[in-house]
Structure 1
Amino acid sequence: MPLTTPGTPHDSLFELSGRAAAKATPALLGPDPDRLAEVVARVRSRRSQLHHEIETLRRAPGGLGRGALDRDQSIHRLTRQLGVLERFGPDIVLGRMSFSDGREPVYVGRLGLSDDHDRRLLVDWRAPAAEPFFAATSADPMGLSSRRRYQWVDGRVRDYWDEILDADSATAGAALDDQSSFIASLGSARTPQMRDVLATIAADQDAVIRARSRGALVVEGGPGTGKTVVALHRAAYLLYADPRLDGRAGAVLLVGPHAGYLNYVAGVLPSLGEDGVRAATLAEMVPQGRDAVPEPDRRVAALKSAAAMVGAVDPAVGLYEEAPTGRTVVETPWVDLDLDPEDWAEAFDAPAPSTPHNEARDQIWEALVEILVDKVDPQQAPVELVRRALLDNEELRRLFSRTWPVLDPAQTVADLWSVPAYLRRCAPWLSQAEVAALQRPESRPWTDADLPLLDAARRRIGDPAAAGRRRRREKVMAEQRRYMDDVVDYVLASDDNPDSSLSMLRGEDLRDALMDPDAVEEPDRDPLAGPFAHVIVDEAQELTDAQWQMLMRRCPSLSFTIVGDRAQARSGFEGSWRDRLTGLGFSDVTTRTLRVNYRTPAEVMAEAAPVILAQVPDAVVPSSIRRGGAPLVHGRIEDLDAVLDRWLADHPDGTACVIAAETDGVSGVRGVERPRVQVLSPTTVKGLEFDLVVIVEPLGTEQGRALAVDRYVSMTRTTGQLVILTR
């Protein structure tokens, strides 16, 4: 964002025209022009400082260990600050707080900013001192007399709004209006990515954003209440305020309902100066998720989605971890050794209980060899030679590989679906008919209902190639160590100076420091495997028990922000959110409800509310604060092209969406795609918003609750016009 050029009058940052022109008087602007000019100058100088500091750190020696880590973290922190300053420039300022006691106004920004003399110019929006800017109300002004918010466009203030919070305070210097301009700004044209809304966060949303991170916080609210806004800004707030998350890249996981949602919100967290959040869909957490298809059979989907079915993975793997019950004689050139069931059981107990199956193999093998070596009488056979013979004993290795084989996670789950006897053994609660329903040919693609089981199998079994990589690494490092020892011994033998510093090479620590730990390439760590310190789930009402287990495994502390609306759950669930979550294993559950709809015009909500209340009488339908939306329009599918063409011609900005059925409906209207127009289904439109929504009915063959939810979700995506066309 370009700053004002040197010599430009600083009040040119305010370009107030039209209705806002009356607010351009010095009496109303008050100290704003001077403060914003200071911010502009400081942003410019801070950019230069950051560039210099980053370059200096990059040129400095990398160092080793903790020093290298601290250097990298400093570069990352400074680069993140620079990114925010370069992205926003002067519009880093959100607004100001004026106080009833006459104190100097406090200005709130995206980042904290001080001048060269440590005088505070801006307070970071996440700091406790900035909380009244978002949380103060006329009922609880929190010491404020008024609050001012700026509307920035292309680096200039095009409008601002003052809210009087303390009726007993003087209103001089406040641009009074009924906030209609502010409310109207909430309905401004949408873009393909979520717009910046930090300056317009409301008190009810801010209270949720700043809530404690311990336990599970459920944020329930109907359409347009800002649940997604809360989820994203809460992620940025926690990274700033929670000591558990401080400095931990990837400490927070954001889970969205579909890829379109993640694309839509992708720019929000970077605009808040945070890049330590991992964002993903559930499908992206499993390698097979990329090609998974929807489960076509509802009964099969329900069976696979139960928590008990995920529990079948452990006995499925355990079948390959049963100690032999017979006795074996292991031959060596010096002595024959007995390997009995107790020996196998002792070796199998060597790994920690949580060690994945494949990664436990090396530990068990080493334990087994040591058990046999302990049986050697040193008086009858050379112990070390026997150990080497056992390690090279191909027959013993083959026996061990049959007893504790390398497993493939996907193949293990595939075996459950293709071998009825195997499935009955691992899931004895299933009826014969259910076992038969779950059978699938191995050539059939994986479905979304398979993913939680594949994820559980992957964690229980581990990487099939892990053991081989570990052995290769140990071999390379051993060769390095032998070579380094030879070099050091030669250097020391050649040095005849008793005061030489080369004597330091005799130390083990220095020799270890000379080793190259990167000589063996390590596989990239799965960034979505966790563990995470906090998980935020949007559209959480749709998650199955099995999917919840996927997420709970990634956050052992069960520190969650759970965002959803039971009324928008196609299948629904019994009881409250607390009932649902405690049944899954959460113990500390707090619920907050958002009841104000900032997105959908009241005229549209009047049509949408009866749709959901007819099927879900206890639905929390939010109250809209915006009016003036165009009335609902009905028509025929033949009108679709004309509706879109007319809207695009009348609206040079903004986005539109045609919502059709999940399968044939979407493909049937594909030809209408135009710039600024998307074609989506009721499932893939969740979490998104558009200026125009056109619903093509019928929305599929669903009936009852599922159909009502699809219609309710679709109708409430609009910020302006809603059109319903029938086939």
Structure 2
Amino acid sequence: MNPLTTHAFDLPERLAAKADPALIAADERHFAAVARCLEQSVAELTDRLDAERRAPGGLGRQAMDRDAEVHRLTARLRTLRRFGLDLCLGRMVGADGTGPVYVGRLGLTDSSGARLLVDWRSPAAAPFFGATHADPMGLASRRRYRWTGGRISDYWDEVFAEDALAGHAALDDRSAFIAGLGATRSPRMRDVLATIQADQDAVIRAGSRGALVVDGGPGTGKTVVALHRSAYLLYSDPRLGHRRGGVLFVGPHQPYLGYVADVLPSLGEEGVRTCTLRDLVPEGAGAGPETDPEAARLKSSAGLVRAIETAVRFYEEPPTEAMTVSTPWADIPLGPDDWAVAFESAGPGAPHNEARDQVWEELLTVLADKHDGDTAPETLRAALGRDRDLRAAFDRAWPLIEAADLVGDLWTVPAYLRLCAPWLAPQDVRRLQRADPRAWTVSDLPLLDAAR
């Protein structure tokens, strides 16, 4: 834990003008309050954690709740001990004269209920990252701090209103962002949160419905944005968090994931799971490198993914002939149109094997709706589900797929590959063929995942 001190500023001689008490005295007073609150919070959390660990574990849900509380308290305590006053990223002053509001890696409230730090992921902190001169978002000024060894070694002010200049701001010819990029970085880039800019913040706080693609060249901040977005979603999305959904961060290799695991706690989150692409499919552990660069290029193309989708659709063929399903109460006709209705229930993009149960249940619903008797619905569905002819017809129409067999066949049966990917040139078909269908390479892994 960085040592707590009531003297937060340690500005070098060349920045003597910024050490003017008129500029930093209010911050010093606020940081003194933060220091006292942090010491009290650490002591209280330590006592609560000890009490939880000594408490009886209980059974079932009670044990799960206790373990979850121990995990929550441990994570919070670890973060508070890891940082000190440098939990604070900066402050902002409202154009209406309110503030200053101090933004932190975590929220912090003292014993009287006064909010000392606003969590950077909360809506109240959004202007700190999103305000621009074109859209100040209600701010008069914003100050960002640079921390070195637990003390402020520099700070930058940005003003959005003329009356915010006099006696309140130390203007610099470099923005905090440019200064942050030009400064010596640690390998973990721990303090990058303080340099998040409006366009990056817009991506971080974007809605979580549907896919979000962030495209950019090397060094443009994609990883930084992805890490902050993970922490933000866990904080703000009601579908995530305690005993609900989570975030899976997929990286290219373990050293990269080590970096991710180090940075995320500094953003206030430890609940993100990480893995490499190899970890997503069973074949990943034994997959070797793709030695042919052209084969790797072909397998990474969207066209090969479409070929997998085509191959999967060959296993989704509704019967074209009518049949009759017998029950103890009546015979129910089942025609091609009924099969089509059931197949459409899967929806576009649904994984084949995962959609199988949904299609089966819809097929039973279609049959039950055609029954005119007064048999209880659950009794009728149970009888339909036991019909061997119906089950056999369904297994032929929508069988379970073994992804390894499907992809392996593409690499060993040229005619099958040409059927699924007719746009491939003959030399490309030959290039993708191999003697052992299960000699998996890392380039096969996304295709294996797509086939499931």
Q: Answer yes or no: same fold by TM over 0.5.
A: yes
- Corresponding residue for residue 187 of structure 2: 192
Q: TM-score, normalised by structure 2?
A: 0.73
What is the CA distance between 1:415 and its match in structure 2? 4.0
Contact 2:315–2:399, Cα closer than 8 Å, also in 1: no
Matched, 1:2 2:2: yes
Secondary structure class of the residue paired with 1:33: helix
Deviation string 1:95-130 (CA, Å, 9 cap, x unpaired) is 112233333411111111111111111111111211
- Opposite residue 298 of structure 1, the aligned amino acid is E
Q: Does 1:439 align with 2:433?
A: yes
Q: Match for residue 124 of structure 1? A: 119
Query: What is the rounded CA distance, in whole Å, between the counterparts of 1:35 and 1:244 in structure 2?
Result: 35
Conserved? CA contact 1:193–1:266, under 8 Å: no
Q: For residue 93 of structure 2, what is the aligned residue in structure 1?
A: 98
Q: 1:53 to 1:261 in 2, by over 3 A?
A: same
Deviation at 1:90, TM superposition (A): 1.4
Whether 2:298 is the aligned partner of 1:302: answer: yes
2:300 and 2:443 in contact (8 A); partners too: yes
Identity %: 56
After TM superposition, the structure 1 stretch with the greater mean CA deviation from structure 2, 128-137 or 222-231, is 222-231
Q: Distance in 2 between matches of 1:72 and 1:38?
A: 32
State the Cα distance separating 1:258 from its structure 2 match: 4.8
SS in 2 for 1:219: coil
Are residues 1:448 and 2:446 paired? no
Aligned to 1:207: 202
Amino acid at match of 1:88: F
Residue matched to 1:678: none
Summarize deviations over 1:38-72 as a string: whole Å, max 9, x none: 11111111112112222222333333443333333
User: Over alpha carbons, which structure has the higher Rg?
Assistant: 1
Which residue identity lines up with residue 24 of structure 2 in the other structure?
L
Matched, 1:275 2:273: no
The 5-angstrom pairing of residues 215-614 of structure 1 reads 215-247=210-242, 251-290=246-285, 291-294=287-290, 296=292, 298=294, 301-302=297-298, 305=301, 306=303, 307-311=305-309, 313-314=311-312, 356=353, 409-420=403-414, 436-442=430-436, 445-457=439-451, 459=452
Q: Which runs of 5+ in 2 are unaligned?
A: 320-341, 361-397
1:419 and 1:117, CA in 2 relative to 1: closer, same or farther beyond 3 A?
A: same
| Secondary structure of the structure 2 residue equivalent to 1:441 | coil
Residue from 129, 139, 159 that aligns with 1:134: 129
For 2:416 and 2:135, locate their aligned partners in 1 and report how far apart those are by CA, in whole Å.
64
1:161 aligns with 2:148: no
Q: Closer, same or farther in 2 for the Cα pair 1:156/1:424, shift >3 Å?
A: closer
CA distance in 1, matches of 2:294, 2:243: 41
Q: Kindly indicate whether the alpha-carbon contact (under 8 Å) linking 2:49 and 2:70 is maintained by their aligned counterparts in 1.
A: yes
TM-score of the pair, normalised by structure 1: 0.47
> Partners in 2 of 1:121 and 1:98 — Cα distance?
14
Secondary structure in 2 aligned to 1:94?
A: strand
What CA deviation, in whole Å up to 9, does each residue of 1:668-711 have, x standing for no partner?
A: xxxxxxxxxxxxxxxxxxxxxxxxxxxxxxxxxxxxxxxxxxxx
Q: Give the secondary-structure state (helix, strand or coil) at the position aligned to 1:186.
A: helix
User: CA offsets, 1:180-208, max 9 Å, x none?
Assistant: 67633321223333342111111222222
Higher relative contact order (CA 8 A, sep 6+): 1
Read off the aligned partner of 1:160 and give its amino acid letter: Y
Does the CA contact (< 8 Å) of 1:84 and 1:271 recur in 2? yes
Give the counterpart of 1:28 among 18, 23, 32. Answer: 23
d(CA) in 2 for partners of 1:41 and 1:426? Answer: 67
Residue 172 (structure 1) shift: 1.0
Contact 1:256/1:262 (<8 A) preserved: yes
Partner of 2:83, secondary structure, is helix
Instruction: Give deviations 1:538-559, integer Å, cap 9, x for gaps.
Output: xxxxxxxxxxxxxxxxxxxxxx
- RMSD, aligned α-carbons: 4.1
Counterpart for residue 334 of structure 2 = none
Distance 2:147 2:15 in 1: 13
Gaps of 5+ in 1: 323-348, 364-403, 460-727
Name whichever of 82-91 and 251-260 sits farther off: 251-260
Alignment correspondent of 2:138: 143
d(CA) in 2 for partners of 1:142 and 1:406?
A: 54
Gap change, CA 1:422 and 1:177, over 3 Å in 2: closer
Distance 1:210 1:444 in 2: 42
Looking at structure 1, the residues matched to 417 and 212 of structure 2 have their Cα atoms a distance apart, in angstroms, of: 37
Partner of 1:396: none
From the superposition, tell whether residues 157 and 203 of structure 1 become closer, same or farther in structure 2 (CA, over 3 Å): same
Question: Cα 1:153–1:356, aligned 2, differ >3 Å: closer, same or farther?
Answer: same
The structure with the greater share of residues assigned to helix is: 2
Residue 45 of structure 2 aligns with which residue?
A: 50
Structure 1 stretch displaced more, 280-289 or 149-158: 280-289
TM-aligned CA distance change 1:308 to 1:85, over 3 Å: same
Letter in 2 for 1:302: L
Alpha-carbon distance between aligned partners in 2 of 1:315 and 1:164, rounded to the nearest angstrom:
59
2:176 and 2:269 map into 1 onto residues whose CA distance is: 30
1:54–1:78 CA contact under 8 A, matched in 2: yes
SS at 2:146's partner residue?
A: strand
> 1:441–1:315: structure 2 CA closer, same or farther, 3 Å change rule?
farther
